[in-house]
Structure 1
Amino acid sequence: MPKLNKQVLLASRPQGAVTEANFRFVEVPVGKPGPGEVLVRNEWLSLDPYMRGRMSDAKSYAKSTEIGEVMVGQTVGEVVESNDPNFKPGDKVLTPLGWQLYGIASAKELTRIDAKRAPASSYLGILGMPGITAWFGLLEIGQPKPGNTVVVSAASGAVGSVVGQLAKIKGCRVVGIAGGKTKCDYVVKDLGFDACVDYKAGNLLADLREHCPKGVDVNFENVGGMVLDTVLRVMNLHSRIVVCGLIAEYSATEPYGYKMLRSVLVNRIKMQGMIVFDWKDRYGEALKGLSGYLTEGKLKYRESIVEGIDNAPKGLIALLKGDNFGKQLVKLA
């Protein structure tokens, strides 16, 4: 085992878009686990939009990453050394160890995964936080009913792709919003959405009206900004909006000025923010449902992979620009 551990630290807070200059690479000794602790060799690192918020010092639902700290993130890895009876070397685990090749965590922070049942990387995607977010956001807040029209923005992403497929399973008409013909083709042909609107084509409102002739009953919002403002114009009476993400606004230096909030009043829309941690006591319920559908072939997923920890900053920057297909990952080993 190497004596040195490579880490990626937050070097500075972004002013606008994230750049590689916001990160710093260091090498430190691997370290030894103490009582009740486990040393893990990370194999996969998850990259997620929420990381942009953690790089900021603005008040949010979770603590910001401090300058000089290891960048936050979930990983999947293998136990190298354990001082806890619940884990042994060779176990595959889900961890909160962040952007580094090795890490020491309390055994209580680790979750054992079954890499024989599903690929290890899937526990960071469809069987991880994105899949669980889709499950509870759609079913608990969106409350889709058979025959409803469901619109999903960032439809080819890690969360949106699962939301749309779950909505189809529930008997809904599903219309995605994505950037570019390639992503839209994937959403319809591979994931089974009824239609997908390319917002980059410049006809978002007209295209939504064409593909949602009965209006929109549920909007699963991952983008915000112009996209959300436009969807507000086609929402139905007593419809629901799940505000899961606002990726279009994360790097903005000024908040987006919404023009169509009147629709919430006129249509008596239920609009609710969604943070997956609110359902932490019920994660098992979602994982059981997701794994069942995955085994039955009712759910498909795709991964965008960058190789090596040195390319992790490039991967996050690409994700925030919308260049990824499905779940964005870094292969560490």
Structure 2
Amino acid sequence: MNKRIVLARLAGSSPVPEDFRLEEVAMPSPGPGQVLIRVDHVSLDPYIASTLRGRHMSGGVPVGGVIPGEAVGTVVESRGDGLAVGDRVICRAGWQQFTVADIAPAGVAQGPLSLAAQKITLPDGVSYTSLLGVLGMPGLTAWAGTVKMLKPIPGDTFVVSAATGPVGATAGQLAKRMGARVVGIAGGPQKCAFAVETLGFDACVDHRDPDWVAKLAAACPDSIDCYYDGVGGRILEGVLGHLALGARVVLVGMMEQYKAPAPLPGPNLVPIIKFRATVEGLVVYDHWPDMPNFRRRVAPLVRDGQVIVREERVAGLEAAPDALIRLMDGGNFGKMVLDI
């Protein structure tokens, strides 16, 4: 039998346990050109909550549909060339113990929403689960926004929100390697200490502190040249008033908006005009062709400990709903990975 978690009802502004249902169904069987995969690890990401509301650009989840998610698994049966029993693969399996997938043709690049199984090749010393975080979609999101769009130069002040999550932590470390002075924004003293002491950021501001905007200004005495934002809402508004002339801003996510039952009031955009700032939106799917180049450059940094990876592992399929709920409340610390 195959255990899986499906959408029990259309979710509201924030997921709750009643939105999910655990099922046992017959084991899937692969057809010609397909493989049966045992799902080992599944990525838990904020976009999943949007799919449960039918509001994500990748599509929604129908009631009764398996909750989506990128996964690392092991081939247990193969009916085609290119993958053999025991091969480790990455695929969009979602929240279930087993799945069937087509075999991705060798040498053919797969799009971000491809359902085909792709064989994993990584340098020694790099974990398979890194493909769900620092070397996967979160890492590519950080790479595109930092290296290709914001392009910090030595001496720039680079501020990043959600600074200890998989995207923010990677973005900040890449900016630091490019010579920028990096200031994080995170929720709580423990996360801020991690950003400075482990990730190597120059400073980190706790947005739960009532005086966090003033402390951000003190941490950025020369104003903010680059802002990488994955939160929006009050965090974005607090940062905008401290931009440098000609600042660059990349908007990659709106976590506060995702959780709101209705659109939030917009921030004051006068600083965009005042500081002649450039604001760009980032959709990681547009940068998917860069994935091989990104992994080729960043995987050695991960292997050698020059880019720090923190994962929060959650054990057992049944724990997935509560873990996603906690993630959406900001209760995670690092990249959240479900171990099936």
TM-score (norm 1): 0.96
User: 1:202: Cα distance to partner?
Assistant: 1.1
User: 1:117: Cα distance to partner?
Assistant: 4.1
Identity rate, percent:
38
User: 1:87: Cα distance to partner?
Assistant: 0.2
Contact residue 302 and residue 309 of structure 2 kept, 8 A: no
**AA aligned opposite 2:117:** L
User: 1:258: Cα distance to partner?
Assistant: 2.3
Match of 1:97 in 2: 93
1:301 aligned onto 2:301 = no
Match of 1:120 in 2: 128
1:65 aligned onto 2:55 = no
Match of 2:202 in 1: 194
1:264 aligned onto 2:250 = no
Match of 2:52 in 1: 55
**AA aligned opposite 2:31:** G
In 2: Cα distance, 1:205 partner to 1:14 partner = 33
Match of 1:18 in 2: 15
Match of 2:142 in 1: 134
**What is the CA RMSD across the aligned residues, in angstroms?**
1.2
Equivalent position SS for 1:328: strand
User: 1:226: Cα distance to partner?
Assistant: 0.3
Match of 2:27 in 1: 30
1:224 aligned onto 2:224 = no
In 1: Cα distance, 2:57 partner to 2:94 partner = 18
1:328 aligned onto 2:336 = yes
Equivalent of residue 319 in structure 1, options 327, 334, 339? 327
In 2: Cα distance, 1:31 partner to 1:227 partner = 45
Contact residue 234 and residue 267 of structure 2 kept, 8 A: no
1:85 aligned onto 2:92 = no
Between the two proteins, the alignment pairs up a number of residues equal to: 328
Q: Deviations over 1:173-222 (max 9, x none)?
A: 00000010000000100000000000101112101110001111111101
In 2: Cα distance, 1:145 partner to 1:5 partner = 51
Equivalent position SS for 2:307: coil
Where in structure 2 are there 5+ consecutive unaligned residues? 105-115
Matches within 5 A, 1:261-300: 261-300=269-308
1:110 aligned onto 2:117 = yes
**AA aligned opposite 2:78:** S
**AA aligned opposite 2:18:** A
In 1: Cα distance, 2:95 partner to 2:120 partner = 20
User: 1:107: Cα distance to partner?
Assistant: 1.0
Equivalent position SS for 2:14: coil
User: 1:296: Cα distance to partner?
Assistant: 3.2
When structure 1 is superposed on structure 2, of 194-203 and 272-281 the one drifting more is: 272-281
In 1: Cα distance, 2:49 partner to 2:2 partner = 24
Equivalent position SS for 1:175: strand
Contact residue 103 and residue 117 of structure 2 kept, 8 A: yes
